[in-house]
Structure 1
Amino acid sequence: MSSLQLRGLTVAGPTGPPLLDGVDLDVADGESVAVIGPSAASRTALLRTIVGLQAPDAGEILIDEVDVVGRAPRRRDVAMVFADHALHPRRDVLDNLTFAATLRRKHDRAELAGRVEQVVDDLALRDVLDLRPHRLGTDQQQRVAIGRSLVRDASVWLFDDPFSAQSERVRPHLRSVVLGWQTERGRTSVITTSSVDEALSLAGRVAVLHQGRVRQVGSPQELYEDPADMFVAGYLGSPPMNLLPAFRDGEQLVTPLATILVDERLERAIGDRPVVIAGIRPEHCLDATRGAVDVVGGVEFTTRVDDVEWRARSQYAFLGFDLDPALSEVLDEVEEMFEFDLFQNFLVAQVPTDVPVRAGQSLHVVVPHEAVVLFDPDTGENLTR
């Protein structure tokens, strides 16, 4: 197998900002990295540039420390599953599975036959081997494209949203098959997805790609618990982190729902900024309405529940608040800068289902002080990392 490094990879967009803007990414030999982001165009451009179907405007693509920019796709030894499947229309499923692998010189026929047999069973393709692509469903076509990549030998494997056509019931199994196949064989892989939850379960490390730049790379836990910036915080999580404007007033920060004591940790983070954005995860909002919550020095407030959403093992209470119109305009400008909907006029609190919560009642919430994260409203930087 091989390592993959991207250095300053830049690809201009058809109009407006670039699809990729100085992307740096390291994928170790035998590692699988998931790439997530709201723009499908940027994710696809990343893979098309690595495989050689799109020329970068700047930067390097290093496979085993050799820059392959300028090499034709066939000379890069990269296998790719395309979002549109790209199957040979006049070949049946079996031929589609084996065609790319048999193009390689001195391929081991017995080994290839064994891989095909396993893939056919793992991807439920046994009953359609003699059919051509036009007679298959979209989900079957996608599984054929995945299988074709799995049976190939290559230096690097790329998967462009490879599970998008699968039903919710099939998707976890197929994901497990692909990841197990790649991991067992120590294959170097990059897998893009449009699903945040899927990205967090796809690989040991996840890269968050937005506005053409890699915002953060890390384990799912690192991204969730220690987001590099406001976009990562507001993008990952279901529901994502609550983001509230907070104004400095002496020794405290004033938010629409509560005041936060400025201790030494927050003092260092705030500096001389008059306004910051306070981030609070829903699960850190503890229901203290009936007491039994002892968080010394925590952030406390009582407010009305506007709505409740039940989620089997938990429930989400939506706690609304009002924003000054001038402040709303400022927050809108921040969202325009990030090109993403970050702010709401409510806070989401995760409440255990053993405590009944209904719309209209009052909820007393306590947030551990150390759970409060602060962001710079101008740059989005996490100030409390």
Structure 2
Amino acid sequence: MTSVHLRHVCVPGSGDDQLLADVDLDVEEGTTLAVVSPSAATRAALLRAVAGLERTATGEISFGDDDVSAEDPRGRDVSVVFADHALYPHRDVLDNLTASATVRKGTDTEALAEQVEQVVEQLALSELLDLRPADLTDEQQQRVALGRALVREARLYLFEEPFAAQAERVRPHVRSVVQQWQVERGRTSLVATASVSEALAMADLIAVLHRGRVHQVGTAREVYARPSDLFVASYLGMPPMNLLPGLVHEGRVETPVGTVALSQAQIDGVGDRRTVIVGVRPEHCLDATRGGVDVSGGFDGTTRVDEVEWRGDTQLAFLGFEVEPEVDEALEAIEEFYGFDLFQHFLVVRIDAGGELEAGMSMHVVVPPEHVSLFDAQTGANLAVVD
């Protein structure tokens, strides 16, 4: 096993764009890092650069204390699961499972056989061992590719969209198998995924990239509860964080749908700014319409419910609002800066399915102060989150 360190890594894209732009990352030994980004090309470029399959324009990649920047893929000793599975088409499933492991000198064949037996059982491959990749579904091919990676001993493990082909009902099990296998053996893993929910569920650390740059690295709780900027706030979460334009006045922030009473720590963070962006997640919005909610400070507002979306165990209320044209222009400028859609003209509230909600009714919404984020209206940087 090894730690992984990237310093000022750049990978060129098309034209003047860069797939990776001055990327710094540290992954300690035995850690699973999930890489999330709206761009599949960015996610793939990072894994391919670490594996030695993508030429970097600048920067250094180290495994532990060893600079591997000039090493070819074979010299880096990395086990990779590609998004297209990359199985050997003329070999059966059993041969595909063992192929990568058996080419390494000193492989313990008895130990390998035991590991293959475990993988075959855990990934439901026992009925497929004599088949070739062309006889398998995409879902089955992906499980074979995962099994092949797991039974191989390597310095580092790279997974590109490792569960994308799995049916929704089996995906949690397959993810759990891979996660448990890696944790029990203390392996270092990088997982590139389009699924933010999977990244939050399985990774020790999450790296959030956009336009080739690292916006934030932290634990799932850190990046979710304390996003570094507006992009991270909006990208992580489904539904995404509500982002509301606000005017600062005498220790309060007035938004189109309510007011935030600022704590002293937030007042210090806001400084002399006259405008900020208020962020509250839908699940932190509490329905106080009928009372019974004791919240001091934070966000407080009452407005009309425009639409209700029932989801079985929860329901979403959409509370629309309007803003002045100059505010809209300012929000559009922020979106252009980030190259990402951040704002919507409604507040989303997620509550228990048992609550009686109807379009047209008035809803009183409160959010505890510890769940209110404030962002700079020009740079998008997080200003203050109450501890």
Shift of 1:324: 2.0
Q: Tell me, in whole angstroms, the C-alpha distance in 1 between the residues paired with 2:298 and 2:3.
A: 46
Q: Is the 8 A contact 1:230 1:375 kept in 2?
A: yes
- 2:222 aligned residue: 222
Alpha-carbon deviation of 1:378?
A: 2.2
Distance (whole Å) between structure 1 residues aligned to residue 129 and residue 31 of structure 2: 31
**Counterpart Cα distance in 2 of 1:177 and 1:354:** 35
Task: In structure 2, list runs of 5 or more residues that go unmatched.
Answer: none
Aligned counterparts of 1:374 and 1:249: Cα–Cα separation in 2: 14
| Counterpart residue number, 2:378 | 378
Where does residue 158 of structure 2 map in the other structure?
Answer: 158
- Name which of structure 1's ranges 284-293 and 34-43 shifts more when overlaid on structure 2: 284-293
CA distance in 1, matches of 2:76, 2:290: 63
Cα RMSD between the aligned structures?
A: 1.5
Deviation at 1:187, TM superposition (A): 0.9
Aligned equivalents of 2:81, 2:298: Cα separation in 1: 49
2:88 is matched with which residue?
A: 88
| 5+ long unaligned stretches in structure 1 | none
Q: Which residue number corresponds to residue 29 of structure 1?
A: 29
- Equivalent residues of 1:43, 1:192 under 8 A apart: yes
Which residue does 1:269 correspond to in 2? 269
Q: CA deviation at 1:326?
A: 2.8
Query: Are positions 1:327 and 2:359 aligned together?
Result: no
Which residues of 2 match residues 251-262 of structure 1 at below 5 A? 251-262=251-262
Residue in 2 that maps onto 1:197: 197
Distance of 1:60 and 1:20 partners within structure 2: 13
State the match for 2:310 in structure 1. Answer: 310
Determine the structure 2 residue equivalent to 1:130.
130
Q: Is the 8 A contact 1:4 1:65 kept in 2?
A: no
* Partner SS state of residue 326, structure 1: helix
1:254 CA displacement: 2.1
More displaced, 267-276 or 113-122? Answer: 267-276
Residue 76 (structure 2) aligns with: 76
Aligned equivalents of 2:157, 2:261: Cα separation in 1: 50
Q: Secondary structure at the match of 2:382?
A: coil
Q: TM-score normalized by structure 2?
A: 0.95
Q: List per-residue Cα deviations over 1:262-303 (Å, max 9, x = no partner).
A: 442232122222221111122332211111222233432211
**TM-score normalised according to structure 1 size:** 0.96
Work out whether 1:284 is the aligned partner of 2:296. Answer: no
CA–CA distance in 1 between the matches of 2:294 and 2:120? 56
Once the 2 structures are TM-superposed, how far is the Cα of residue 203 of structure 1 from its aligned partner?
Answer: 1.6
Residue type at the aligned position of 1:62: S
Q: Which amino acid aligns with 1:246?
A: G
2:105 maps to 105
Q: Which residue pairs with 2:347 in the alignment?
A: 347
Query: What is the CA–CA distance in structure 1 between the aligned matches of 2:192 and 2:70, rounded to whole Å?
Result: 24
Q: Distance in 2 between matches of 1:343 and 1:263?
A: 25
1:52 equivalent to 2:52? Answer yes
Tell me how far 1:105 sits from its aligned partner.
Answer: 1.0
Give 2:118's aligned residue.
118
Q: CA deviation at 1:251?
A: 4.1
Does the 8 Å CA contact 1:258/1:300 hold for their aligned counterparts? Answer: yes
- State the secondary structure of the residue aligned to 2:384: coil
Any idea what SS the aligned residue of 1:163 has? coil
Moved more, 232-241 or 74-83: 232-241
Alpha-carbon distance, 1:114 to partner: 1.2
- 3-state DSSP of counterpart to 2:180: helix
**Which has the higher mean CA deviation after the structures are superposed, 353-362 or 324-333?**
324-333
